[in-house]
Amino acid sequence: MKKTTTVTVLRWKLILLIFLLLILVLLLTTAWVKNEYSKAREDSLRDIQNRNGVLPADEEIQFHPPEVELDFINILLLGVDAENDGVTRTDTIMLGQYHPKEGSVRLVSLMRDSYVSIPGYRDNKLNASYALGGMELLRKTIKENFQVDVHYYAQVDFNSFIRIVDIMAPNGLEVDVENRMYYRNNSGSYIIDFARGTHILDGEDALDYARFRSDSQNDFGRVKRQQELLSLLKDEVLSLSGIQRIPQLLGSIEPYIQTNLSSQEMISYGRSFLVNNIEDIETMTVPVEGGFYDEYYNHAGAVLQLDIEKNREALHEFLKIKNEE
């Protein structure tokens, strides 16, 4: 009887010890995550200061999505250049869809020169809607032309892209350049030059690679390269070492990003994304092939004149929302 009692006591002591160790690990992990996040955030703020850059404006962004409960989310991803004069210029417009139950991610690049109807204004390029009425008018413009609801937005300064690549891919991103990519601005102060062949890109090189459009493919080639880099970054994030760098990643981009996603929602979707182990990101570009032609208007310049019906149908099929409208 005494032996049994002793074994039971030892067993409970072992359980208690394991429990205390788990609490200690949790506390240490929490402290480490907080430290990594804070340190990376301070580094980004220092980087912005050193570049004499500007932080995203503090004023609230007007954005009024429909209040519906769905088992997926559509998020508007906007890449902008925040200049020293405080003017924000749109460079990239993407629509991302995440379906947690399906474990699927779809990414649509919306060409900024697409000629569309803008509510309350004259027809113009898609990115003109942002210049005229910010994120909310861009949301309305997407809804009016493509009949797609957007639930969230994330507006990101392009300088954060450099930080993201350098943190998530410290050894660089490997890309294959099919033809030489060369661009030189008028003053010669900015040059992009990638020879044909394999390249390992750091953050600054990756940004140049994503921005380049001085070839026969123009914006279409640029969009294709952006989608390629996002897919490579996704692979880095889902690697074991990438998961360990997520606190640093979140802290580094926080000063550059504006979004209506709450911290709780970001954590929830981020956890779901990791658990689902997304292997592929499905991509498409609007306008689709055969769904546009080149046009010119005095008030808008060179544009992509869309076959709205064809592009809308292709977009609905891709996002699997045909039966929801």
In this structure, is residue 62 part of a structural domain? no
What is the residue range of 306's domain? 73-324
In this structure, is residue 51 part of a structural domain? no
In this structure, is residue 56 part of a structural domain? no
Residue pLDDT tens, the chain, 325 long:
555 566 566 666 666 666 666 665 555 555 555 666 677 667 766 776 666 555 555 557 888 888 877 778 899 999 886 554 445 668 889 999 998 888 888 999 999 999 999 999 999 999 999 999 999 999 999 999 999 999 999 888 777 788 888 888 889 999 999 999 999 988 888 899 999 999 999 999 999 999 898 888 888 888 899 889 988 888 887 776 666 677 777 777 777 778 888 777 776 777 677 666 666 788 999 999 999 999 999 999 999 999 999 999 999 999 988 654 4
pTM: 0.78
Considering only CA atoms, which of 303, 289, 282, 306 is closest in space to residue 146?
306
In this structure, is residue 35 part of a structural domain? no
In this structure, is residue 172 part of a structural domain? yes
Judge if the upstream peptide bond of residue 287 is cis by omega within 30 degrees of 0: yes
Domain total for the chain?
Answer: 1
Backbone CA torsion sign across 291, 228, 260, 60: negative
In this structure, is residue 256 part of a structural domain? yes
Instruction: Give me the helix-helix angle, 159-168 and 246-253, nearest 10°.
Output: 170
CATH number at residue 109: 3.40.630.190
In this structure, is residue 1 part of a structural domain? no
Q: How far is CA 154 from CA 26, 56, 168, 193, 258, in A?
A: 31, 12, 19, 30, 6
In this structure, is residue 24 part of a structural domain? no
